[in-house]
């Protein structure tokens, strides 16, 4: 079906509502336009070049629509219209490189279209070769006179592919098409003459610049008489013009005349003057108009192609665009263009000019900086970001919610959400993204909004499609949202953080966003401006490890996490001694819930950081000290154990205030090292008691006093584990030994139930099962004692190696199981119909030998073929080997199985375990120091009394609470649980209307001592001291960065 051509010649012809296609257009003679794709013969082009033949009277409004609707061209940000000589001229090799590189770089940075006459001669040939040499994907559009194109009859087809080849040399009568252009517009004016396309080209360029609001820059290279007309029209319209001085002819004459008016010297002035004298009256008049109008608009820029000291051509082109006085762009618009082009040099030039013209920063410049900063963040421009910040851009005015509602941010979150949800649930279209951004803007955030709230609420809105009235934080707790939110953020980011008592965006907020969208360089640029360089670097490492756990390709993210950790180490290394570094390590960071750097490093598995000498020394202090004092000197473990049984020996070995001797004794037992040995000694006593019960319980028909005491002790262990879980419900089971404890206590619970049922109801089965369960419990309980080894420098790495090797064994068993099942079924298939004799005896051993037929041989363990694959792996074959020996195939299979299992798989396991041990040994120091942190943490926060004495302590606390609070009061149960778990934390909350309770510490000490907790990060410092410490860290960061740059 042929579409009737539109009557485009009529001025004001309405545009069609439907998409514009080539069938809507026609040639000069009224016939439908020829169009299709050109394949240039003998040229290295992978793609076809679309082309169309149209009349010179075609409505440019409609043709512009066709370029976007049918050709699907990307919308340009700049039009680069290149005009000049159509005759052959030569550039020297270096000059051609300067021209090619500068032109293409300018087009790439500005997302421009390059428009030329598109013929294989003169400047058009250089432009095509420039695009090819730079391998640039830049729309290069040719607007050529159809009747002057050689071999144009080959192009007169309808919607077909055309092979085009240059058959003859170019001449004044015709020229071939340049093969490196991407699109060809062949203008038919009905006459065989040059210049028939100029009017249409000019009108099309005007239409695109008007409708799409994009700048146009005219680049003049060489040129003949017609070039003066083109330049004159461009200058009169106010378009910026870049004249390539030194390219020859028209370009040199325009440059000479422009300089002459300004009394500037020109190379080869006499020869150029002679060329001007030879011009006709019309060309001289046009040259005069060019110089006059350019003086008025100041829109001509000269680029000396032969001057070695000039900048690249792209700089001149971009400066010319920004200097377009015809558009009268504001400083903000120019800044945004520079950001969009990713040209820091252009922006630096703008800032210099602005400072010269305005002196100091004005409100207009500050507002422009804020807009440019927002744009730089959105487009991922780290170098421009640093430039803007150095000139006073303020991050507090960045619209963080817009950043989180960007398409790229949504796409990243969608990929992360896809780990937990199906693609259908996470399908986010563009319209929904715009709506989400509107939601975030419309929703009113509470006055105390934290970094966590900003991120997690954004994720929640994306996931749950919250309505504006639902509230920004209403869906954060939804169980469908929790997995991702907890995995990335909720465990480690803050819940309350107010900066300057109002909601503002800090460099830390922006750095977190940059990390979540995986913009490493941008995050690094923002880190260099944060107030807490060590804390934020470790936070970056933590977040990157969290992101790595959500994706398949984890290597690059883990490497980035290690890189951020190295930044924190670099800053820490700048401190001069431990005494100076200690306050920085202890400094609590409100953004992370008053956690210090060691807590953040532990969460992010920053082994190198925790292995640092300063961190380990602080661990040493915390291991042998409390907030009330520490050991005077290094005391051996044997001495500590001795003092546990003889408390009077504590005097003289523990630093404390003289008026707190009793408190000193109390706080000696609070030392983490003392807690370790106290718990260990009590646990050894528990193991002896458990061993006694395990050996004797099978023969006892009723509960003994030993068993009753064991049940009481187990209750203390249960309660202690529950208290630990209540202190950290989210991260409790992250530790391996906590999982072992859970399994051990589960076995104990089963043992107690079976023992109770078996004894009460005289159930022999339950009693027998209880004996078996307690045997397993005994083994696990003894192995649990290995946790104490982690404190030892030599045993600790071995314990880590054992844990890693268990994973190797698990992988080995998976592979071995595949071989075992395969060969077992094969052996069973071969011997299914065989009959063989096995010796079976009853309990008295009097049953004679029997003959088994059919499937009974499979259960005749261990002599049946079912177990052959397993026992042969251990060197035991049984009588079934004789049956298999009757078959050669069976023997071959058995031999192959033994080779694969005993040689290949066993050696594979040995190699895996050797590699694991080697890696642990090489990093044993770091591994041990890292695991040591968690051991110190565990005993630093554990209760004073070990099980079962903890039951007495909890009873006393419950009595104390009931005295202070009526059991019938509202919220009594929840408050009681909170008080039992952590009395100190309960006291800090200071609940109104409730009687304040004395904790154990206050019983012994009423002084207002400074709280210095390594793990809560809570430290009362004056504002002045905190500011000094932050300033010192920032100075050391600058020192570290300077050293990095010098290296």
- 247-261 per-position pLDDT tens digit: 888 888 999 989 888
pLDDT digits (tens, 9 = 90+) for 2-18: 343 444 433 444 455 56
Quickly state the pLDDT bin for 358 (edges 50, 70, 90).
low
Nearest residue to 13 via CA among 1, 21, 29, 24:
24
Task: Tell me which long-range contacts 708-715 makes (C-beta under 8 A, separation of at least 24).
Answer: 711/752, 712/948, 712/951, 713/686, 713/689, 713/947, 713/948, 714/745, 714/748, 714/752, 715/948, 715/951
Largest interatomic CA distance in the chain: 134
The confidence score (pLDDT) of residue 7 equals 40
Task: Tell me which long-range contacts 805-812 makes (C-beta under 8 A, separation of at least 24).
Answer: 805/913, 805/916, 805/917, 808/909, 808/912, 808/913, 808/916, 809/909, 809/913, 811/912, 812/905, 812/908, 812/909, 812/912
Run of H or E including 173: none
Mean predicted confidence (pLDDT) in 887-910: 84
Contact between 378 and 369 under an 8 Å Cβ cutoff? The reply is no
pLDDT at 237 exceeding the cut of 80: yes
- 3 state SS of 37: strand
Question: What dihedral do alpha carbons 944, 946, 948, 953 form, nearest 10°?
Answer: 0
Mean predicted confidence (pLDDT) in 482-504: 39
Contact between 67 and 52 under an 8 Å Cβ cutoff? The reply is no
Q: Two tokens at 23?
A: 């069938």
pLDDT at 747 exceeding the cut of 70: yes
Q: Which carries the bigger pLDDT value, residue 420 or residue 919?
A: 919
Tell me how far CA of residue 352 lies from CA of 299, 356, 473, 968, in angstroms. Answer: 20, 6, 45, 74
The confidence score (pLDDT) of residue 700 equals 58
pLDDT digits (tens, 9 = 90+) for 823-837: 877 777 766 544 443
pLDDT digits (tens, 9 = 90+) for 131-163: 888 777 899 999 999 999 998 888 999 888 898
Instruction: Give dist(CA 714, CA 506) in Å, integer.
Output: 51
Quickly state the pLDDT bin for 361 (edges 50, 70, 90).
low
Mean predicted confidence (pLDDT) in 589-606: 84
Q: Two tokens at 839?
A: 């010796």
pLDDT digits (tens, 9 = 90+) for 104-137: 888 888 889 999 999 988 888 889 888 888 777 8
Q: Which range, 241-245, 279-283, 512-516, is most confident?
A: 241-245
Instruction: Give dist(CA 76, CA 214) in Å, integer.
Output: 7
Average pLDDT of the chain, as a whole number = 76
pLDDT digits (tens, 9 = 90+) for 70-79: 999 999 989 9
Instruction: Give dist(CA 527, CA 540) in Å, integer.
Output: 9
Quickly state the pLDDT bin for 445 (edges 50, 70, 90).
very low
Q: End-to-end distance of the chain based on CA atoms, in angstroms? A: 70
The confidence score (pLDDT) of residue 986 equals 67
Quickly state the pLDDT bin for 272 (edges 50, 70, 90).
confident
The confidence score (pLDDT) of residue 984 equals 66
Instruction: Give dist(CA 46, CA 221) in Å, integer.
Output: 29
Q: Please count the other Cβ atoms lying within 10 Å of the Cβ belonging to residue 609.
A: 27
Range name among 467-476, 603-612, 1007-1016 with the lowest pLDDT average: 467-476
Q: Which carries the bigger pLDDT value, residue 465 or residue 890?
A: 890
Q: Which carries the bigger pLDDT value, residue 884 or residue 99?
A: 99
Instruction: Give dist(CA 157, CA 171) in Å, integer.
Output: 25
Contact between 251 and 231 under an 8 Å Cβ cutoff? The reply is no
The confidence score (pLDDT) of residue 264 equals 81
CA angle 705, 708, 711 (to 5 degrees): 150
pLDDT at 103 exceeding the cut of 70: yes
The confidence score (pLDDT) of residue 225 equals 82
Contact between 16 and 24 under an 8 Å Cβ cutoff? The reply is yes
The confidence score (pLDDT) of residue 727 equals 76
Give percent of the chain above pLDDT 70.
73
The confidence score (pLDDT) of residue 1019 equals 41
Run of H or E including 868: helix 868-873
pLDDT digits (tens, 9 = 90+) for 36-72: 999 888 765 567 899 999 999 999 999 999 999 899 9
Quickly state the pLDDT bin for 207 (edges 50, 70, 90).
very high
Tell me how far CA of residue 605 lies from CA of 495, 541, 545, 562, 730, in angstroms. Answer: 22, 9, 8, 10, 17
Contact between 864 and 835 under an 8 Å Cβ cutoff? The reply is no
Range name among 7-21, 224-238, 503-517, 956-970 with the lowest pLDDT average: 7-21
Q: Two tokens at 354?
A: 């602005």
pLDDT at 737 exceeding the cut of 60: yes
- Per-state percent for the chain, helix, strand, coil, to nearest 5: 60, 10, 35
pLDDT digits (tens, 9 = 90+) for 835-894: 443 333 343 444 433 334 444 444 444 445 556 677 677 666 665 566 666 667 778 888
Instruction: Give dist(CA 960, CA 956) in Å, integer.
Output: 6
């Amino acid at each position: 079906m042929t579409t009737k051509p539109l009557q485009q010649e009529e001025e004001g012809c309405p545009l069609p509502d439907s998409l514009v296609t080539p069938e809507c257009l026609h040639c000069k003679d009224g016939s439908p336009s020829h169009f299709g794709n050109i394949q240039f013969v003998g040229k290295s082009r992978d793609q076809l070049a679309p082309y169309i033949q149209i009349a010179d009277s075609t409505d440019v409004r409609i043709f512009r629509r066709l370029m976007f609707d049918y050709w699907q061209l990307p919308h340009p940000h700049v039009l680069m219209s290149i005009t000049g000589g159509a005759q052959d001229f030569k550039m020297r090799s270096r000059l051609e490189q300067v021209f090619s590189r500068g032109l293409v770089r300018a087009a790439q940075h500005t997302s421009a279209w390059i428009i030329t006459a598109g013929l294989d001669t003169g400047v058009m040939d250089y432009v095509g070769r420039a695009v090819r040499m730079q391998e640039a994907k830049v729309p290069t559009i040719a607007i050529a006179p159809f009747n002057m194109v050689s071999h144009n009859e080959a192009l007169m087809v309808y919607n077909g592919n055309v092979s085009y080849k240059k058959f003859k040399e170019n001449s004044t009568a015709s020229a071939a098409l340049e093969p490196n252009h991407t699109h060809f517009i062949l203008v038919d004016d009905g006459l065989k003459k040059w210049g028939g396309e100029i009017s249409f080209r000019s009108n099309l360029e005007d239409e695109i610049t008007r409708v799409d609001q994009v700048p146009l820059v005219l680049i003049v290279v060489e040129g003949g008489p017609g070039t003066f007309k083109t330049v004159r029209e461009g200058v009169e319209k106010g378009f910026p013009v870049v004249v390539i001085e030194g390219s020859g002819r028209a370009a040199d004459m325009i440059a000479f005349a422009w300089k002459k008016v300004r009394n500037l010297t020109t190379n080869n002035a006499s020869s150029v003057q002679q060329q001007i004298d030879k011009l006709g009256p019309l060309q001289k008049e046009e040259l005069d108009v060019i110089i006059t109008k350019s003086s008025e608009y100041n829109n001509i820029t000269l680029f000396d192609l032969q001057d070695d000291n000039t900048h690249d051509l792209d700089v001149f082109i971009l400066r010319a665009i920004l200097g377009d006085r015809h558009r009268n762009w504001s400083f903000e618009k120019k800044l945004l263009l520079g950001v969009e082009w990713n040209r820091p040099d252009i922006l630096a030039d703008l800032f210099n000019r602005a400072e010269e013209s305005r002196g100091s920063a004005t409100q207009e410049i500050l507002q422009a900086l804020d807009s440019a900063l927002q744009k730089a963040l959105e487009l991922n421009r780290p170098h421009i970001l640093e430039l803007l910040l150095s000139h006073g851009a303020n991050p507090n005015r960045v619209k963080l919610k817009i950043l989180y509602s960007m398409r790229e941010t949504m796409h990243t979150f969608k990929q992360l959400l896809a780990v937990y949800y199906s693609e259908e649930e996470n399908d986010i279209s563009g319209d929904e993204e715009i709506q989400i951004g509107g939601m975030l803007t419309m929703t009113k955030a509470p006055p105390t909004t934290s970094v966590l709230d900003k991120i997690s609420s954004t994720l929640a809105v994306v996931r749950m499609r919250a309505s504006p009235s639902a509230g920004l934080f209403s869906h954060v707790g939804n169980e469908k949202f929790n997995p991702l939110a907890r995995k990335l953020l909720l465990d480690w980011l803050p819940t309350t953080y107010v900066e300057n008592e109002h909601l503002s965006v800090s460099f830390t907020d922006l750095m977190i966003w940059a990390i979540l969208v995986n913009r490493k360089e941008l995050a690094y640029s923002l880190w260099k401006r944060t107030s807490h360089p060590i804390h934020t670097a470790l936070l970056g490492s933590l977040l990157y490890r969290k992101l790595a756990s959500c994706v398949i390709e984890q290597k690059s993210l883990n490497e980035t996490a290690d890189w951020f950790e190295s930044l924190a180490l670099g800053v820490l290394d700048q401190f001069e001694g431990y005494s100076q570094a200690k306050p920085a390590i202890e400094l609590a960071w409100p953004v992370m819930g008053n956690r210090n750097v060691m807590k953040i490093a532990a969460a992010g598995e920053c082994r190198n950081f925790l292995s640092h000498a300063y961190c380990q020394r602080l661990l040493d202090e915390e291991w042998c000290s409390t907030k009330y004092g520490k050991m005077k000197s290094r005391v051996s473990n044997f001495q500590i154990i001795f003092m546990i049984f003889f408390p009077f020996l504590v005097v003289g070995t523990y630093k404390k205030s003289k008026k707190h001797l009793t408190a000193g004794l109390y706080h000696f037992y609070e030392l983490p090292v003392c807690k370790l040995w106290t718990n260990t000694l009590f646990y050894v006593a528990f193991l002896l008691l458990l061993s006694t019960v395990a050996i004797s319980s099978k023969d006892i028909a009723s509960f003994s006093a030993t068993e009753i005491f064991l049940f009481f002790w187990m209750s203390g262990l249960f309660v202690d584990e529950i208290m630990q879980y209540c202190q950290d419900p989210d991260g409790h089971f992250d530790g391996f030994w906590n999982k072992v404890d859970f399994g051990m206590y589960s076995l104990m619970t089963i043992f107690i139930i079976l023992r109770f049922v078996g004894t009460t109801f005289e159930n022999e089965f339950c009693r027998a099962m209880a004996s078996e369960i307690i045997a397993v419990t005994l083994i696990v309980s003894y192995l649990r004692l290995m946790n104490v080894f982690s404190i030892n420098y030599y045993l600790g790495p071995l314990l880590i190696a054992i844990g890693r090797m268990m994973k190797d064994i698990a992988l080995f068993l998976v592979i071995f199981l595949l071989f075992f099942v395969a060969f077992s079924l094969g052996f069973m298939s071969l011997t299914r119909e065989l009959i063989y004799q096995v010796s079976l005896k009853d309990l008295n051993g009097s049953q004679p030998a029997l003959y088994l037929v059919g499937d009974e041989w499979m259960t005749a363990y261990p002599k049946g073929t079912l177990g052959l694959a397993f026992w042969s792996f251990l060197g035991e074959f049984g009588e079934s080997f004789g049956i298999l020996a009757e078959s050669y195939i069976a023997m071959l299979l058995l031999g192959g199985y033994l080779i694969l299992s005993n040689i290949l798989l066993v050696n594979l396991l040995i190699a895996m375990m050797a590699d694991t041990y080697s890696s642990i040994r090489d990093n044993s120091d770091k591994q041990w120091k890292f695991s040591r942190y968690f051991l110190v943490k565990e005993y630093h926060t554990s209760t004073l009394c070990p099980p079962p004495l903890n039951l007495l302590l909890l009873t006393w606390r419950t009595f104390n609470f009931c005295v202070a609070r009526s059991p019938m009061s509202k919220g009594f149960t929840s408050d009681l649980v909170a008080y039992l778990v952590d009395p100190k934390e309960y006291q800090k909350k200071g609940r109104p209307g409730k009687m304040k309770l004395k904790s154990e510490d206050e019983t012994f000490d009423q002084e207002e001592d400074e709280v210095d907790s390594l793990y809560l990060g809570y430290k009362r410092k004056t504002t002045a001291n905190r500011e000094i410490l932050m300033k010192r860290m920032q100075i050391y960061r600058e020192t570290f960065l300077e050293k990095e740059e010098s290296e």
